[in-house]
Structure 1
């Protein structure tokens, strides 16, 4: 196929889009892929090493940002909109050298569809939040029309085709209040997604089959036909043996632990907890009696160590905790080589914030989860993992998200010691095999990729 597929991502979703690019060219070496983003070139350098992938940073003087835009999520939508004139120039320049067969945009780049449509370029959305998440977004205009008032104060379960029941308060905060600008961005994006040429999803059939059936049957877009949907996952970055992670001290520690004995706690680059919550977590882990590997960040307002680069664990954690648990616990300062840890045979479970990339990594390596959502769509993802996929346990928390030591101890023991935990482990082991099969030649995701490539003119 002569021509180019252009992928456009915000910095927030660039890693996932880069992994999509590598998946495409791995199975279709005749396809050239160009990635556009406002992120620095260095951010993509390690991912775009394949000859068929090129990276272009949208740089230059974008339209000034309005003073009233301060909400971070609103910024994710607004920055691509303000770069539309620069995007237009980039697409026109690419078109001089190669025909653009498809323009694939991430959720926050919704406004870019105005540019691609003006150039008559087929426009596709890439949804990194999975099949269940896509069902929610496509059904959102229907929710908007049928619920009077704000979702945030509706306080009831919502029935969405293809999904487990979702409590209205578990929707992302940006979808709670219909007069907010973020809500309007979500709604407009959902409408445009339903009118696009197709939707690429970071998932695989066996993981979210109910969702895919609902999408194929147009149940999430009751007033129109759903665009073609392609499940192309699990898209996760490969483990890079040359990045030094295999030499990380925590991996050496894991080598000394029994198989499937360690609970891993890691909450992404934005996962931060109060000082009180960190102490509660420490007590729960200590009382559980199980081994643990825990990545700890400094809580807001707490000074770091004199180096100002790492948290002061002695100041953050309960007195004597590190000494008492030194034979069965390992506490990391801020960062953990997550993929390498999850792939280690000593890991028995993963306490996660339910970020999509983290959960797909966990499933791909066969690690059951305990859900501790923190922000964005993570409360919805918790329901998908616990009720839909049945690959995780939930932590009960107060209205403001606080989790007690007793609850942490309870769920760690439940995952490791109980029959319910065993059933989840068996389910996750199945998903690991299905995930591997989906991404191999003849697998469901490779078949869907073939359908997508064939449909391009």
Structure 2
């Protein structure tokens, strides 16, 4: 393998041995992390590169011509058919995997709530009784949804619910008029995407700084309610899922607060907004 020659558009041929060492070992977490990042690069509207066109014209031209292909937008079409603010969207980030037992609790809670939902499910972790997470979704890493969800769940919720594997175009999902609640792992990018879309949130932190973010979302921003999690492993019951979904769906106060922050966020990136001004000042400081 190390003697193999690889050809990437815009680059001179590379030998496998010249690649970063983790990319030669599929057991290395960095290998899968890199593939995960590359998968998301193809979905970006643009990429800031630490170079300039005259220095690497061939590579940059190849990047500009790259066709990321068409994403599966079936979930967006489905959302467009749903009533305004009627759908609960659940997504827990690139590392938000759960045990099978937790997935089934979520499913039961959604079913009991009676609300429409769009749920992004990643391959479950194998270890029962451990904290959820923490492995990035592997491209092409398939699994059988029916085997990890409650028996008959897909059939019973057909029409009012949709389950997709691994990934959904989150910014586009949150911008849909039909989305009324966002169940989030409290990763900061997701929090900001929810704020900009004006969608009330249910805070379900998993790891890293997300528990701190939850406190900000609930206590300071006042755009979310938090789920009650079992202390030893973060487990959340079906009853709790049902309760929080109903609570946020029916909360006029959180909805109004979310729309207020949306207006503030859009103003911040306007022509003379605080974020626009701060970025302009930063660029000016480099000149």
2:22 maps to none
User: In 2, are the aligned partners of 1:263 and 1:290 still within 8 Å (CA)?
Assistant: yes
Q: For 2:50, which of 48, 51, 55 is the aligned residue?
A: 55
Larger Rg: 1
Q: For 1:403, which of 227, 230, 236 is the aligned residue?
A: 236
Per the TM alignment, residue 316 of structure 1 is displaced from its structure 2 partner at its CA by 0.3
Secondary structure of the equivalent of 2:193?
Answer: helix
C-alpha spacing 1:385/1:320, structure 2 compared with 1 (3 Å): same
1:56-85 Cα distance to aligned partner (Å, 9 max, x none): 5xxxxxxxxxxxxxxxxxxxxxxxxxxxxx
Distance across 1 between alignment mates of 2:280 and 2:200: 31
Once the two structures are superposed, the pairs formed by residues 1-40 of structure 1 within 5 Å of their partners are: none
Secondary structure of the equivalent of 1:350?
Answer: strand
1:112 maps to none
User: In 2, are the aligned partners of 1:311 and 1:334 still within 8 Å (CA)?
Assistant: no
Per the TM alignment, residue 444 of structure 1 is displaced from its structure 2 partner at its CA by 1.2
Once the two structures are superposed, the pairs formed by residues 53-452 of structure 1 within 5 Å of their partners are: 54-55=49-50, 244-245=70-71, 248-301=73-126, 309-399=141-231, 400-417=233-250, 421-452=251-282
Distance across 2 between alignment mates of 1:424 and 1:285: 20
Per the TM alignment, residue 277 of structure 1 is displaced from its structure 2 partner at its CA by 0.4
User: In 2, are the aligned partners of 1:48 and 1:55 still within 8 Å (CA)?
Assistant: no
Per the TM alignment, residue 301 of structure 1 is displaced from its structure 2 partner at its CA by 2.6
Distance across 2 between alignment mates of 1:45 and 1:337: 12
1:167-202 Cα distance to aligned partner (Å, 9 max, x none): xxxxxxxxxxxxxxxxxxxxxxxxxxxxxxxxxxxx
Distance across 1 between alignment mates of 2:115 and 2:46: 41
**Structure 1: stretches of 5+ with no match in the other structure:** 1-38, 57-93, 98-241, 303-307
Secondary structure of the equivalent of 1:54?
Answer: coil
User: In 2, are the aligned partners of 1:48 and 1:54 still within 8 Å (CA)?
Assistant: no
1:160 maps to none
**Structure 2: stretches of 5+ with no match in the other structure:** 1-33, 56-67, 128-139
Secondary structure of the equivalent of 1:292?
Answer: strand
Higher RCO by CA contacts (8 Å cutoff, separation 6 or greater): 2
C-alpha spacing 1:249/1:443, structure 2 compared with 1 (3 Å): same
Scaled by the length of structure 1, what TM-score is found?
A: 0.46
Distance across 2 between alignment mates of 1:281 and 1:54: 40
Secondary structure of the equivalent of 1:55?
Answer: coil
1:189-216 Cα distance to aligned partner (Å, 9 max, x none): xxxxxxxxxxxxxxxxxxxxxxxxxxxx
Secondary structure of the equivalent of 1:382?
Answer: helix
C-alpha spacing 1:48/1:252, structure 2 compared with 1 (3 Å): closer
Distance across 2 between alignment mates of 1:287 and 1:47: 36
- When the two chains are superposed, the root-mean-square deviation of aligned CA atoms in Å is 2.7
Q: How many residues align?
A: 226
C-alpha spacing 1:49/1:369, structure 2 compared with 1 (3 Å): closer
C-alpha spacing 1:387/1:49, structure 2 compared with 1 (3 Å): closer
Scaled by the length of structure 2, what TM-score is found?
A: 0.72
2:17 maps to none
